[in-house]
Amino acid sequence: MQRTMRSHVLGIWTLVLYILLTAGLVVSSSAQQFIPLWPESFIQQTPGIALKDSIVNDRIVKVGIPGMWAFFPSAQENKGAAVIICPGGGYERLAYNAAGLQIAKWFNTFGVNAFVLKYRLPNAPNLRNRQLVPLQDAQRAMRLIRAHAKQWGIVPDKIGIFGTSAGGHLAALLGTHGGDVSAIGDPFDTAAFRPNFLILISPVIDLGTYAHVGSRKNLLGPSASQELIREYSPYLHVTSATPPSFIVQAFNDPAVPVRNSFLFAQALLDSNVQVSYHVFPQGAHSIGLRDNPGSTALWISLCEQWMAEMGFTSGKK
């Protein structure tokens, strides 16, 4: 009984300490800071199995502490918008540099606050509900940013999410999944977790006929039911409440069939949601900030202009 009471008190104090530390974050201009998403006692895991962060070939292959790297523009350049960046990697690894840190620095160049999400990988051995944990981390990240919006010079209704490949699946999932899977009973639960816009690059959208098989297997397991496949195919859950979206993919993408982005764009149109959809002839599955072939190089300026046109980086904060 005493041991249970001590454990309960310790859990409460851990949560209180986490809230105080998070609330006390001081961010200077152009700073980069790692922000943990959860109090340690609330990270979903199996007792006795602890993971440490591990990086191989510039990819994160194990996530011990889920969190986000924060990149802030200077106060003079800050447009008040923010974006969570979800690196891809087939839900097996995170391409945190090319599809994360570099993207964040680009957003900073036109005044957007950027947060690179280090989300838990669903194929880790210490998870109970593998398919839920990336979405839990994305919801929690959005809540933390909104809770600190005033402190960080961010407008609460100008916060979106960006994702590449499987990271695009997670971004689309955050924009279409209505259920709260991240509440843990702390003050951040009151902040909204739905994004105000989506930016999807070569996104995994369908986990059925046009699935990227590796992403589906890593997220849902090797023998997922049709019900689970439908639940985690974001285009099937688009409604009029889904945020406006900017979508880019290459016609010759050999990894994720171009039908993925098409299905999401079509669902948005059917629900009368604003969508800017671009299918370029080339680029394969490696559309990035640099070295894009031909017209694919235009996506960067198109995206920046779209954000201004939609009012996310224009007007008063």
If residue 214 lies in a helix (H) or strand (E), which one and from where to where? helix 213-220
Q: Which residues contact 4 (CB under 8 A, 6 or more apart)?
A: none
pLDDT at residue 7 is higher than 50: no
**Residue 91 Ramachandran class (φ > 0 left, ψ -120 to 50 alpha, else beta):** left
Mean pLDDT, residues 36-46 taken together: 77
What is the C-alpha to C-alpha distance for residues 156 and 279, in angstroms, rounded to an integer? 31
pLDDT for 175 equals: 98
Write down the pTM of the prediction. 0.90
Give bridge partners of residue 54 from the DSSP assignment.
62
What per-residue string of b and e applies to 287-296 under the rule 16 or more CB within 10 Å gives b?
bbeeebeeeb
Q: Which residues contact 79 (CB under 8 A, 6 or more apart)?
A: 73, 110, 111, 112, 312, 313, 314, 317
Q: Does domain 27-309 have CATH number 3.20.20.20?
A: no
Residue 63 and residue 117 in contact, taking contact as beta carbons nearer than 8 Å = no
pLDDT for 108 equals: 98
Q: Give residue-wise pLDDT tens across range 277-315.
A: 999 999 999 999 999 999 999 999 999 999 999 999 986
Query: From residue 225, how far is each of 221, 238, 263 by CA, in Å?
Result: 9, 21, 21
Domain boundaries, the chain: 27-309
What is the C-alpha to C-alpha distance for residues 86 and 183, in angstroms, rounded to an integer? 20
Q: Give residue-wise pLDDT tens across range 222-249.
A: 999 999 999 999 999 999 999 999 999 9
